[in-house]
Structure 1
Amino acid sequence: MVEGERSLVGSVQTNMRILKPTRKKPRLGDVFVLQMPDDKYSFGRVVSTSAMVGGRIQSQLIYVFEIRSASKDLPARSELRSDHLLVPPMMTNLLPWSRGYLETIAHLPFEPGEVLSQHCFYDSFFQKYVDELGNDLPGPVEPVGELGLQSFRTIDDAVSAGLGIPLVPEG
């Protein structure tokens, strides 16, 4: 597939375009891009590489920010702050990078204000709130993410909804 084409992997279609597949594992502080059908790039950040889904599945905790651009150039650092999230934090595996949906463009050590002081996810099975390690929280702490391992497809749906782009029908 040519970089920037709308993705159709197997029978799974997404709004996100395939950029640059890699087997290189993301690192804490990595900045990545994803591209939607309007040709603009959205920016994200790897906030943890040791988040736990269900107390046993290690995952990457990522942020996706409101900032968008026609280029992959690193935006101003102020745009990569935790108060500029497009969607709540998400936990995912390495597949979005190995399939090319997320492309790492830079690595930045964290500065104050760039990471939420408390991550919160709603566990719909047990109907409770937990942090990124599965520890119980007394109640919701905004922004509340959905507990679970998010696939490139569910990341695509969340970002599409956040941007007002019609979701790709399940098929």
Structure 2
Amino acid sequence: MSFDLLVKMNPSRKRPKPGDVFVIQPKKGVYYYGRVIRTKMPNKNPMMRGWNLIYIYKVPTEKIVMPDQLNERGLLIPPKIVNNQGWLKGYFQTIGSIPLQEEDYVKDYGFWDAFTKTFVDEEGNKLDFKPKMYSDYGVGSYGSVAYDVQQALEGK
């Protein structure tokens, strides 16, 4: 299966909000759900401050319908810190919102900070353990989400 980029959908001028459910389309007619977990995040690093923490869920759908819940699907890729470009350019399409509950939060994840050679949380605080799920620490966009999704779908 070859996924080059995400398929462009409807751009949005609205900023994402916690609980927003969105879809991405790595291949025409195949959608994966995403969810905004945090927005306007504080961070020790000024370049990382103010962005969004998102999840991309594992189970695809062929129709854009609002799910009842998402946490039972599991994550396709580790949580990502992203800017707003996915929504502004139409690669992330918000379809609704589900208020966040405690069980919606993934517990064992983090980010690898190549500069400090440590694992950190989304705010840049050092973790004292190696998380089960992690990705590189940095601000991504729809391109980095597309790349990670492609790697996951190809089993890499």
- On whether the aligned pair clears a TM of 0.5, the verdict is yes
In the TM superposition, residue 76 of structure 1 has moved relative to its aligned partner by 4.0
Please list the CA deviations of residues 30-88 of structure 1 after superposition, one character each: whole Å capped at 9, or x if unmatched.
000011225210000000003356622321000000011111102341xx117700000
> 1: distance between equivalents of 2:111 and 2:73?
17
Q: Which residue of 2 aligns with 1:48?
A: 38
TM-score (norm 2): 0.88
Equivalent residue, structure 1, for 2:87: 97
Residues 93/82 of structure 1: CA separation in 2 closer, same or farther (3 Å cut): farther
- Tell me the percent identity: 29
Structure 1 residue 74 corresponds to structure 2 residue 100: no
CA positional deviation for 1:141: 1.7
Structure 2 match to 1:142: 132
Instruction: Give the corresponding residue for 1:39.
Output: 29
Question: Partners of 2:73 and 2:67 in 1: how far apart?
Answer: 15
Check if 1:58 corresponds to 2:50. yes
Count, aligned residues: 152
Higher relative contact order (CA 8 A, sep 6+): 2
Report the Cα offset of residue 164 of structure 1: 1.6
Distance 1:76 1:151, change over 3 A: same
After superposition, the Cα gap between the structure-2 partners of 1:38 and 1:21, relative to the gap in structure 1 and judged at 3 Å, is closer
Kindly provide the amino acid, as one letter, of the partner of residue 105 in structure 1.
Answer: I
Other-structure match for 2:106: 116
Contact 1:118/1:131 (<8 A) preserved? no
TM-superposed deviation, 1:145: 2.2
Question: What's the TM-score once normalised by structure 1's chain length?
Answer: 0.81
RMSD: 2.2
* Distance (Å, rounded) in 2 between the aligned partners of 1:59 and 1:20: 21
